[in-house]
Amino acid sequence: MTGFLIAAAALVAATLLLLLPSLLRQRAPGAEASRNAINAGIYRDQLAELERDFASASLNQADYEEGRRELQRRLLEDAGGDAAANTSARPARRSALLIGLTLPIAAALLYFALGNIPALSPDNAQPPKVTAQQIEEMVAKLAARMEQNPDADPKGWVMLARSYKAMGRYEEATQAFGKAGKLVDEDPHLLAEHAEALALSTGGSLRGRPSELIARALKLDPQFPDALVLAGTAAYEREDYAAAAAYWERLLKLLPPDSEDAQSLADSIKKARAAAQKQTRKKPASGKP
């Protein structure tokens, strides 16, 4: 315990050495203005990145809202802190003295009141466990919220559809993708996901509606890998082996040449080409009386 207390005291001292000089030093107004402009630009970039992640559905609603609140809080704190620093240097000096006196005392009191040395052991650190029942409850709450106001949040429908798909509830996933409307229709990634969910909900076949969704995805992005995989699989299923090989060859050009995916795809292309040649040889014979 003694060693821990010494280490903690050293950390407190190091923290004070870092904090106090900046609090005691008065900043120039021009430097503050420049700093504010830089901070504002950084927060704008971070907010734009957050919006992009949410728009692509790689970020769920809760994480998006939490991230946005955190950015706003940090921006307000920076703005408020800079305004206070420009008003007078004296409050900063008083804060420095207050921190210098109270931080070590507060740290000691908190440690002796709440400290738990065994809890610091890595063996006692366990990640929180989420049960299947808790996941079911969260998805059910999201579904209820979406049903209450179905037209307000297309991204919520996408989130629900992906949740259902991950849980193997493909029919419900398909229905949720359909309710997302324009958001899905204009995104090749979501169109491919919708097609896959629809195929899985009907026994795994890509014929019909799934193939239409795949074709729409490739129209939006002819090089989209997921759509090329599905398009090749759909062509192979309907025994259009030449088309299957063509789709997969387009995909092969996008993969690292030495990767396992590329090697596996190359084998599939060989099989499709062989089936296409065999199919071509049979056609003249089938045309004879």
pLDDT tens for residues 142-156?
999 999 988 888 999
Lowest mean pLDDT among 32-41, 72-81, 126-135, 256-265: 32-41
Please give the C-alpha separations between residue 198 and each of 21, 41, 109, in angstroms, as whole numbers: 63, 43, 60
Distance CA 288, CA 32 (A): 88
Output the pLDDT for position 286.
47
Residue with the larger pLDDT of the pair 99 and 213: 213
Residue with the larger pLDDT of the pair 182 and 75: 182
Total count of domains within the chain = 2
pTM of the model: 0.55
* Structural domain containing residue 200: 133-280
Which backbone phi and psi does 83 adopt, to 5 degrees? -65, -40
Q: Tell me if 266 is assigned to some domain.
A: yes
Output the pLDDT for position 63.
72
Q: Tell me if 128 is assigned to some domain.
A: no
pLDDT tens for residues 159-183?
999 999 989 999 999 999 999 999 9
- Are 184 and 247 within one domain? yes
Domain boundary among 118, 152, 185: 118
pLDDT tens for residues 59-68?
666 676 676 6
- Are 244 and 271 within one domain? yes
Distance CA 165, CA 173 (A): 5
Residue with the larger pLDDT of the pair 256 and 30: 256
